[in-house]
Structure 1
Amino acid sequence: MQINGLTMMKSTTHAIYTRKQQGEASRRQRTTGNTSSADLGMEIAGLPPDILVEVTANIATRSSTPLDDIVNLRRSCKLFRDATAARKVGRCMAVQREWRLHWWDKTRFLSVLRRCAASGNPEASYILGLELFCNRRRKASALRHLRRAMEHGHAAAAYMIGMIMLHQSRSPGGTEQALECLDRLSASASAGTWTRRRVASVRREALSVMRRLTMRRWRMAEPPTPCSNPWCGKAETGSVEAWDDGDDEERRFCSRTCWWKHEYCKFIQKI
């Protein structure tokens, strides 16, 4: 369902205002349905700045067109101009709903990402990190943004750090660092949730963003060394389920190294 920014602003403003001013609201018997634009303007003028920021952040989070709605709010009055400049608004901005801007005005899209990332928006840091790695060849800056997103609990960012490090590792030490990152990701997940299904979901999320940003494919410098255990990586018979994505049947590996190397190969094949 498409959410209109003005409608959301009215409903959110009234919800917060009512929570903060329940006694007064009760006496005046104020309802959202019969509030005029003039009444709304008076109520907004009477709200504390932190409430206006909360309203604006709510719109940035929930709107189907967050950037347009925030720009319109910013132009509406000084109160909302100040509110839209708050870090919380940039941190909450649903930048993943603004991919159309990537095609129409990529310079502006990246500018929005940078501002939101500077405010602590993990999705903005994630997309910006992949843009820097895929299209700008700025690995250090890319990993810095991806790590920032990972620190905020962004699973796909952690996954991509591991994939990038595995892809570019030229020594056992580099491979071990990549595996440590992926192990840290699995350890940070709730017990039982970092399963095959979870890995496949995060992989699809990462591939979706990669395909939006670039048409370039990754090429393996050299295939991973096969495991000496003949049973390592063998698929279990009858384990494929309806949600499986291609070769996502249940497999057993002798170590987490073999598991993540198999995942890396699968990721490369699907880019």
Structure 2
Amino acid sequence: MADIKTCYRQGVPMIKSIPHEVLTEILGKVASSSLVDHLNVNQTCKFFHEAAQDDFILRHASLDELPVIQWTSKAEVAPFLKRCEHAQNPEVLYRQGMVEFFYNNQIDLGRELLQRSSNSGHTVATYVLGIIFLDSGDHQSILRGRELLNRILTKRSNNKTSRGEDVEECRKKSRRVIRQLWVNNSLNPSQSQACNSSRCTTGQKNVNGWSSNYEDMSDCEICRCNREFSHFTKMVLGVN
């Protein structure tokens, strides 16, 4: 770090004496907590504007204050979202994947964007991608979908009190996005895989709605996926 007194004598602003990695971490925390604050920082001065273009910062930028589809927006929002996509921001990739798949009916592009988001660790993208693969009709894709979906349904995060919190978060966030779209590409709610497990007790349980008793869910992964798929697709159709 440059000596503050030296910077002062040389007429260098003290803010420029902050190491790049420290400034990046600070601006990254700003971007991850508030998009408005991030955009305001961009407009503060040339130094902050240039620093805020770092891929690390854009990768962690929050989109909570933006609608899924930008019907009307400020001039700086569209370029910002494009830079976030280039920086592999998981939330941007997830939202764009949902828009392309369900709204624009661009199935391959939608799946590609959701896959990129999932690869970056976006849990909801993994959940939705699993659902989509189950609807493919292709055996290998169905197996892949079952693997992805069960990864979420049986997951227990370290910071969650139960595995159900992850599932509820995926349902809530995917529903929130779907509710902002005019759905032009839905899934087939009757698509299901046959269960051949003699130990499966799903048939003895109430399956009229999304299960909230995760600790008592059937050990049969096929039936878990069938139930989740059925109710997700009904949600997309506006039935749930």
Of residues 102, 116, 119 in structure 1, which corresponds to 2:70? 102
SS at the partner of 2:167? helix
The aligned runs of 1:16-95 (5 Å cut-off) are: 42-63=13-34, 66=35, 68-95=36-63
User: 1:219: Cα distance to partner?
Assistant: 4.5
Deviations 1:197-230 (A, max 9, x none): 4323311211111212334572517442664669
Q: Is residue 235 of structure 2 the alignment partner of residue 267 of structure 1?
A: no
Other-structure match for 1:204: 172
**TM-score w.r.t. length of structure 1:** 0.67
State the match for 2:143 in structure 1: 176
Tell me the alpha carbon deviations over residues 2-37 of structure 1, each in whole angstroms, 9 at most, x when there is no partner.
xxxxxxxxxxxxxxxxxx79x98xxxxxxxxxxxxx
Secondary structure (helix, strand or coil) at the match of 1:213 reads coil
Compared CA separation, residues 103 and 225, structure 1 to 2 (3 A) = same
Q: Which has the higher contact order (CA 8 A, sep 6+)?
A: 2
Using the size of structure 2 for normalisation, the TM-score is: 0.74
Contact kept, 8 Å, 2:130 with 2:146, in 1: the verdict is: yes
Aligned equivalents of 2:76 and 2:42: distance in 1?
17
Segments of 5+ residues of structure 1 without an aligned counterpart are 1-19, 25-40, 237-245
Judging changes above 3 Å, is the alpha-carbon distance between structure 1 residues 44 and 213 closer, same or farther for their aligned structure 2 residues? farther
Decide whether the 8 Å contact of 1:113 with 1:125 is kept in 2.
no
Q: Distance in 2 between matches of 1:185 and 1:247?
A: 14
Deviations 1:52-74 (A, max 9, x none): 333322221122xx2x4333333
- How many Å separate the matches in 1 of 2:153 and 2:97? 21
Mean CA deviation greater in 154-163 or 70-79:
70-79
Contact kept, 8 Å, 2:157 with 2:166, in 1: the verdict is: no
Unaligned runs of 5+ in 2: 5-11
- Deviation, 1:97, is 2.3
Matched AA of 2:117 = A
1 or 2, which has the higher helix percentage? Answer: 1
Deviation, structure 1 residue 89:
1.7
> Displacement, 1:87?
0.9
Cα RMSD (Å)? 3.6
Secondary structure of the residue that 2:43 maps to in structure 1? helix
